[in-house]
Structure 1
Amino acid sequence: MKNQVNPLTVLLFISAVLIVLAAISLFFPPEGIKISDDFRIRFPSLNSVLQPDVPEYADISHLTERYRPDEEFTGEERTVRDTTIPGTESVPPGKEPDPRSEEPSPPSIEFEPHSEEPVPAEEEPAPADEGSLREVIFPLELPDDEFKVLDPFFGQLHNAGEGGGALRIIHYGDSQIENNRITSAFRNRMQARFGGGGTGMFPVISPAPHNASVRVVTGGNWVRYTPLERARESRETFRYGLLMSFCSLEPATEGNTEGAFTLRPTGMGPARSREMEMLTVFTGFNSSPFTVELLSGEQRIDADLIFPSDSLMFARWPLPHGSAEYTVRFAGRGSLPVFSVSIDNYRGVGIDNVPMRGSSGLEFSRSSREPMAKMMELLNVRLLILQFGVNIVPDIADDYTWYENSLVRQINYLKSLSHDISIIVIGVSDMSRTGPGGYYESFPNIGLIRDAQRRAAFRSGAAFWDLYGAMGGKNSMPSWVNADPPLGQADHIHFTFRGSALIGDLLYDALMYQYEAWLENKRF
């Protein structure tokens, strides 16, 4: 029997394979080998196979027991990840892998589209009691030598709350805040106490649904530009305004340019965000004149002329029919940049949600100063909230001084655009990957990135809020994912809408805790 396999040969072959695999596991880098920006090869260590470590997940009962967000969310939600994280995958809710599974999840490079379904309405919260705050508060951190960094903002906030005008807060972030997540709950609670309404600023076209309250329908040849898409161009061409993007209405045929966008209220979302008192459209830097019309249904409310300009311009209209459908229509020749559209109230606090998908918060200085500074002045922007970091996490390193220094430059650039602007830096949230034993565990560099962000904030005279700590610290994201109902999505990177509302609550309480201290000092 020439083809008969000798059992001893099989045993020797298997033994040889195991010896080779064991040798590879001894010398393979624990952090894996980076193949590209979104792909890394990992190999389990011998110890993780023989004696896998079972991570201890964070206890977040102090959050889930005391925080009951008003929002009741239904339906499936999906998120496009900024980056592909090796060892993680996004699956529909209810299909999450058991973190105790012995088989690690395979890497995924698939992108899932955002759900087009708007967020259901939430009940109007009662105004906050000025004399009391929730028991669970994870406070803001302030620089030791600049503990009054938020005082200019608090002064104007107090004035707005007393009916003395309007101010604006802009919440910048990566995909964690897309679809108004986190911002919506924070806005609703701020406006319940200090007044205000509307959805704030948004672009004509966006890669993801912006908010639940208003649907934007466009007509014409609109093109969107962002710094990440035009990284090789000079700063002089980077006129993005406060949304860090702009949408250009381009000629369709023979140089003639016609286009429009329609705002259609959905009747969904928080009650205050559905209010429509005033519409503002920022344009400018057009070489030819354009006509602009505001219509409600088929009724023309107003018409005006946008003159050729080499600077920022804006048109502002009161909305006489409240929460009705409105259309803004343009006609002219050449291109017309539109930097933002905003729906606001005349008084109180306006809060904008500005997601920058794929960003690490290092693109602000790529924009020319004039449109950003002028918009800040005209809109009375008094507080910027910067929430980035998840796109830094996949690049595992032992030192993030480069990120700290880069972030310092960005914060200082933003502060140079407006006198007495206040800034809060929100630290990176917890993110998980599957370890060699198949368990979800925090990326090993989360704390290093968080610390770099804190140092950058303090060096620049900004406040800092430790979201990683507020979540529960190391290995807290699996606890959020496994909560009932889930607070984190199955990719172990993003929050669910309910989890986002909880983060908005935590941020509001942290800010109000500091505001109450300011009020107390002001009284004495």
Structure 2
Amino acid sequence: MEQKANNYFFKSFLTIVIAIGVFWGLKQVLPGRLFPESTAAIPGIVIDSLALDAMSADSLSISEGDSLVSDTLINRVKIETSDNSEGIGNLVNFYEKLYDLETSGKGKVRIAYFGDSMNDGDLIVQDIRSAYQNQYGGKGVGFVGITSLSASARYSVTHQFSKNWETQSFLNVKKPKRAFGVDGQVSFVPRGSQTWLKYTANDVANATLLYNPTLFYGSSSNHNASVNISFSKDSTVRYELITSKLLNTLKLSPSTKTLKATFEKADSIPFYGINFDDGSGVHVDNFSLRGNSGLPLSLFNKDLMNALDKVLNYDLIVLQYGTNVLGYGTTDYSWYESKMSGVVNHLQQCFPNASILIISTGDRAVKTNMEMQTDKAVEPLVKHQKLYAEGTHSGFINLYTLMGGYGSMVKWVQENPSLANKDYTHFNQKGAKKIGGLIYGELDKGYFEYKKLRESGRISARPKNSTQSDDL
């Protein structure tokens, strides 16, 4: 009996030794990463159809009409701030508007912040907005679209809407029924139905009310449409919708805590969103869509964006993209650099008075050699994001190095309390708040250097642009 037990033990031990040997031998020839991401799909990590098209060899060149604009030194100065940013002097138009606001106490500055799932639910953006408004004044959450996939996750304003809205997004529709709005969407009321929107201000600093709610919508041959506005239990006002212009605006009510808009006979009218701001200080609009690579911004209609810009007066356009082009089996992002160069040039034509800031992808970790490590595609992508920022004379903030560089996402996940989710890609609320502070800090360093140049007389004020409107 004892001999049988010894034989069984020896055979078991020999089997384990052979298995370890086979595993070690295979480990030397198999790739370090057996799976491209993880065993489960990561929510929000998808890619838009334009990015998938651009990855093909037939579509790497910039499309006709997207050649880069000529370099003009008048809009640039040399400003060096830190190792985490470059070309900050390209933001001189934005800094001058901020300087005018700070020194005169009058006027307003507006920022459009375009992003993906990293900014879902107003993450990062709400903290940058708060920092600017605390420092320079301004109240309100800015422009909010008609519908949003992340409405339920947004705390800076409660956003509700009826389910019968027909919304087209530039993530999956290249030729919409009407031009996309500034949030990349256009929404329609179905024929013969009542369709509604409801917004409620929360107890958020500088946004405790819905300030001067103003509806933005497009032209139509429909002259029978109306909207009923309820902004208190006992107050309802009916407005006819005048649809004669390419872009129409309608002030819906005085500043209020809650607003509900019910649309009647409003089919065929393109609706874009409602703006909430108090008309002074700094305002920051969050235009984030999950899965956006940034390339769909090339689908903006220039005439509509020019009309919208005359009302909202954008001074800074921020592009925070990159997450959704990681993890597709490539480290060559020359195609992305080429296409995004065209996108930035198009935005310069859509918003001609605005400076443009590129924020790179942050760190992202994947399982390699049985441990979480920085995705090998991150640094090549950051390099090409920096290159298209340079080539388009945009400002550039390196979010990857700003958060700590190689291996930083692992540290952020393992922090106590954690600053990022266990998908090793997205920041949680605490991490987003820290990122917002870091980005604002880089911008503020640039502004500090700009003020020194301005007040020493080394750069002078530029003539005021007379084409913009202060209607809102």
TM-score of the two chains, using structure 1 as the length reference: 0.72
Deviation string for 1:217-237 (max 9, x for gaps)?
A: 32462122211221xx43x74
Deviation string for 1:200-231 (max 9, x for gaps)?
A: 1122221113631432232462122211221x
Q: Which residue, 215, 237, 242 being the options, matches 1:307?
A: 242
Q: Which residue, 91, 100, 108 being the options, matches 1:159?
A: 100
Deviation at 1:27, TM superposition (A): 3.8
Deviation at 1:83, TM superposition (A): 4.2
Deviation at 1:444, TM superposition (A): 1.1
Deviation at 1:248, TM superposition (A): 2.0
* SS of match in other structure, 2:421: coil
Equivalent runs, 1:287-366 vs 2, <5 Å: 287-289=221-223, 290-300=225-235, 302-309=237-244, 311-319=246-254, 322-332=255-265, 334-366=267-299
Which residue in 1 is equivalent to 2:388? 456
Deviation at 1:299, TM superposition (A): 3.9
Equivalent runs, 1:20-39 vs 2, <5 Å: 21=23, 24-32=26-34
* SS of match in other structure, 2:207: helix
- Change in 2 beyond 3 A, CA 1:296/1:369: same
Q: Which residue, 197, 215, 227 being the options, matches 2:158?
A: 215
Instruction: Check whether the contact 1:177–1:183 (CA below 8 A) recurs between aligned residues.
Output: yes
Instruction: Check whether the contact 2:143–2:276 (CA below 8 A) recurs between aligned residues.
Output: yes
Which residue in 2 is equivalent to 1:170? 112
- Change in 2 beyond 3 A, CA 1:18/1:287: farther
Which residue in 2 is equivalent to 1:478? 410
Equivalent runs, 1:41-120 vs 2, <5 Å: 80-83=43-46
Question: Once the two structures are aligned, what percentage of the paired residues are identical?
Answer: 23
The CA distance in 2 between the partners of 1:308 and 1:384, in whole Å, is 28
Instruction: Check whether the contact 2:217–2:272 (CA below 8 A) recurs between aligned residues.
Output: yes
Which residue in 2 is equivalent to 1:501? 433
Which sections of structure 1, spanning at least 5 residues, go unmatched?
Answer: 42-78, 85-135
Which residue in 2 is equivalent to 1:242? 182
The CA distance in 1 between the partners of 2:178 and 2:381, in whole Å, is 28
- Change in 2 beyond 3 A, CA 1:420/1:149: farther
Deviation at 1:375, TM superposition (A): 1.4
* SS of match in other structure, 2:165: strand
Deviation at 1:30, TM superposition (A): 3.7
Q: Which residue, 338, 354, 359 being the options, matches 1:405?
A: 338
Deviation at 1:152, TM superposition (A): 1.0
> Quick check: 25-34 or 496-505, which moved more?
25-34
Deviation string for 1:347-386 (max 9, x for gaps)?
A: 1111011111011111111232222222122101110111
Deviation at 1:398, TM superposition (A): 3.4
Which sections of structure 2, spanning at least 5 residues, go unmatched?
Answer: 48-80, 457-472
* Residues 1:263 and 2:199 aligned together: yes
Instruction: Check whether the contact 2:314–2:353 (CA below 8 A) recurs between aligned residues.
Output: no
* SS of match in other structure, 1:413: helix
Instruction: Check whether the contact 1:275–1:345 (CA below 8 A) recurs between aligned residues.
Output: no
* SS of match in other structure, 2:264: strand
Which residue in 2 is equivalent to 1:286? 220
* Residues 1:227 and 2:184 aligned together: no
Deviation at 1:429, TM superposition (A): 0.5
Deviation string for 1:226-259 (max 9, x for gaps)?
A: 11221xx43x7461121011222212xxxx2322
CA RMSD of aligned residues (A): 2.9
> Quick check: 20-29 or 386-395, which moved more?
20-29
Which residue in 1 is equivalent to 2:313? 380
Q: Which residue, 180, 183, 188 being the options, matches 2:130?
A: 188
Which residue in 2 is equivalent to 1:124? none
Partner amino acid, structure 1, of 2:183 = L
TM-score of the two chains, using structure 2 as the length reference: 0.80
Deviation at 1:32, TM superposition (A): 4.3
Deviation string for 1:262-294 (max 9, x for gaps)?
A: 22233x33x102233311111114341311232
Deviation string for 1:31-51 (max 9, x for gaps)?
A: 5476xxx7799xxxxxxxxxx
* Residues 1:140 and 2:85 aligned together: yes
Partner amino acid, structure 2, of 1:416 = Q
* Residues 1:446 and 2:387 aligned together: no
Deviation string for 1:130-176 (max 9, x for gaps)?
A: xxxxxx9765311xxxx642111111122233332223101111111
Deviation at 1:312, TM superposition (A): 2.2
Which residue in 2 is equivalent to 1:51? none
> Quick check: 335-344 or 386-395, which moved more?
335-344
Deviation at 1:507, TM superposition (A): 1.1
Partner amino acid, structure 1, of 2:90 = V
Instruction: Check whether the contact 2:317–2:355 (CA below 8 A) recurs between aligned residues.
Output: yes
- Change in 2 beyond 3 A, CA 1:177/1:33: closer
Instruction: Check whether the contact 1:140–1:511 (CA below 8 A) recurs between aligned residues.
Output: no
Partner amino acid, structure 2, of 1:394 = G
Task: Report how many residues are paired.
Answer: 414
- Change in 2 beyond 3 A, CA 1:406/1:220: closer
Partner amino acid, structure 1, of 2:117 = S
Structure 1 or 2: more helix by fraction: 2
The CA distance in 2 between the partners of 1:247 and 1:484, in whole Å, is 43
> Quick check: 303-312 or 366-375, which moved more?
303-312
The CA distance in 2 between the partners of 1:300 and 1:485, in whole Å, is 46
Partner amino acid, structure 1, of 2:452 = E
Instruction: Check whether the contact 1:240–1:372 (CA below 8 A) recurs between aligned residues.
Output: no
